[in-house]
């Protein structure tokens, strides 16, 4: 092939492999060469397994001819992937980005990794993440934080920042991330890639390290919505969602006052995206959204309590091995009562019903910001990290200018959301998310593909 194979989408790479235009070994070697050239700067990998990957690629190539003859090739046969370091792989360390887990080597693999392997994917290794998936900026002292490939003086975001950065840098063609309040969608937006938060419960969590049982969800990340659709199809065992026509779709957007505090560049990018959908025949409906601040507060209580309970033993036995910011955030959870937690849990069903009745009364899908701005500079993040966080305010997302304001509530409500890029500002990506009703995941993926077809150059 004349073009750099690392620049292919996952769908295009899989097609090229099936057609014999390149081999899995060539593709894997190209990815490893790019990683060797740049990952010392970007720090996307925690564990890279080149020998294992090359052996798997050689085996994939050996199986291509027989597979073609039998019609038995998996949809990801020979395609290099890598995943957030909280999905267990038998025989490989799973650190969750923490010093506490550097010696943990599971004897089992996550169900989702097994599904991808059964589809023929090559696993290059495990990717960087915030410590125990807590930090929205991706800060990590184990390996150092992943850096944004668009500008390495800016963060890749969190907590699935390694996944998003590896995709944007052309190191891999797809990745599994996880999201308890924006941890797939935020880094996807900050790195100009695509990420799906599935409806709660759509994907299996066996073998995934979960900190917040009520909010955590795994999801696919790729360079395009079509890539995410293919990955999601493998993970749920269905056919890949096809593109949907935007014509006739009812798209809900927030009123201008809701977005008034956001940067002008983001507002303009969102406006352009809305206009693109309208020109394609979508009906744009301004909707009054329920109070996101209240929903975020309820989600914050659940998250704080559940992560504190999950890590309580480690806090008692090895508190010094947590970074101060993570330790302080964990301690916040012990400040809530059982009554606080139960009230937040019990309010969930009614909150979802109210949200669906109000926000989706006249629309099929919502279009909302993913993040309030482009990726911040490390210098700004480090300055904020020096501030004390031992207060409930650390979990309050009260205004649209707060990172996570438009994402955390979606986890609380159990809704699916697809993060898509929508332009740049000062050389850094901007993004938005499409939010659907429960189990509308495939519809979101289809709409995402339709939007991409109109905007990709």
Tell me which residues are annotated as active site. Answer: 84, 159, 183
Pick the closest to residue 348 from 448, 439, 447, 215 (CA basis).
215
Q: Report, in angstroms and rounded to the nearest whole number, the Rg of the chain calculated over CA atoms.
A: 21
Contact 306, 215 (CB under 8 A): yes
Q: Which residues of 240-253 are buried (b: 16+ CB within 10 A; e: fewer)?
A: bbebbebeebebbb
Q: What string of DSSP letters covers 35-60?
A: HHHHHHHH--EEEE-HHHHHHHHHHH
Whole-angstrom CA distances from 153 to 145, 219, 327, 424 are 11, 27, 26, 16
Q: Which residues of 175-205 are buried (b: 16+ CB within 10 A; e: fewer)?
A: bbbbbbbbbbbbbbbbbbbbbbbbbbebbeb
Can you tell me whether residue 302 is helix, strand or coil?
helix
Could you tell me the maximum CA-CA distance found in the chain, to the nearest angstrom?
63
Can you tell me whether residue 177 is helix, strand or coil?
strand
Contact 73, 120 (CB under 8 A): yes
């Amino acid at each position: 092939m004349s073009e750099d194979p690392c620049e292919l989408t996952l769908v295009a790479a899989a097609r090229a492999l099936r057609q014999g235009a390149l081999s899995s070994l060539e593709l894997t070697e190209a990815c490893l060469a790019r990683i060797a050239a740049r990952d010392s700067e970007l720090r996307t990998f925690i564990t890279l397994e080149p020998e294992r990957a090359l052996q798997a690629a050689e085996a994939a190539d050996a199986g291509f001819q027989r597979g073609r003859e039998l019609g038995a090739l998996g949809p990801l046969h020979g395609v290099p992937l890598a995943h957030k370091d909280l999905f267990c792989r038998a025989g490989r360390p799973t650190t969750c980005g923490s010093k506490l887990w550097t010696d943990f080597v599971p004897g089992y693999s996550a169900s989702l990794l097994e599904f991808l392997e059964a589809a023929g994917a090559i696993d290059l290794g495990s990717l960087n993440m915030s410590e125990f998936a807590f930090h929205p900026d991706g800060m990590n002292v184990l390996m150092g934080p992943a850096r944004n490939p668009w500008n390495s003086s800016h963060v890749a975001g969190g907590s699935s920042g390694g996944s998003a950065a590896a995709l944007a840098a052309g190191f891999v063609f797809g990745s599994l991330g996880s999201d308890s309040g924006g941890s797939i969608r935020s880094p996807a937006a900050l790195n100009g890639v695509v990420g799906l938060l599935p409806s709660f419960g759509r994907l299996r969590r066996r073998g995934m390290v979960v900190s917040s049982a009520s909010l955590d969800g795994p999801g696919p990340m790729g360079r395009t919505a079509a890539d995410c659709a293919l990955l999601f199809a493998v993970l749920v065992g269905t056919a890949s969602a096809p593109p949907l026509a935007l014509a006739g779709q009812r798209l809900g957007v927030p009123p201008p006052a809701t977005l008034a505090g956001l940067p002008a560049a983001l507002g303009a990018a969102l406006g352009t995206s809305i206009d693109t959908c309208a020109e394609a025949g979508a009906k744009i409906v301004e909707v009054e959204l329920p109070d996101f601040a209240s929903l975020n507060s309820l989600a914050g209580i659940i998250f704080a309590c559940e992560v504190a309970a999950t890590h309580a033993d480690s806090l008692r036995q090895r508190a010094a091995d947590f970074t101060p910011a993570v330790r302080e955030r964990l301690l916040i959870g012990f400040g809530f009562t059982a009554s606080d937690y139960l009230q937040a849990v019990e309010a969930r069903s009614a909150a979802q019903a109210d949200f669906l009745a109000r926000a989706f009364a006249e629309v099929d899908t919502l279009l909302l910001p993913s993040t309030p701005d482009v990726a911040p500079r490390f210098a700004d993040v480090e300055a904020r990290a020096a501030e004390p966080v031992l207060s409930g305010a650390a979990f309050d997302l009260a205004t649209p200018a707060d990172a996570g304001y438009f994402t955390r509530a979606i986890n609380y409500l159990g809704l699916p959301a697809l993060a898509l890029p929508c332009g740049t500002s000062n050389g850094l990506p901007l993004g938005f998310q499409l939010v659907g009703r429960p189990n509308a995941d495939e519809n979101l993926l289809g709409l995402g593909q339709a939007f991409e077809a109109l905007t990709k150059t």
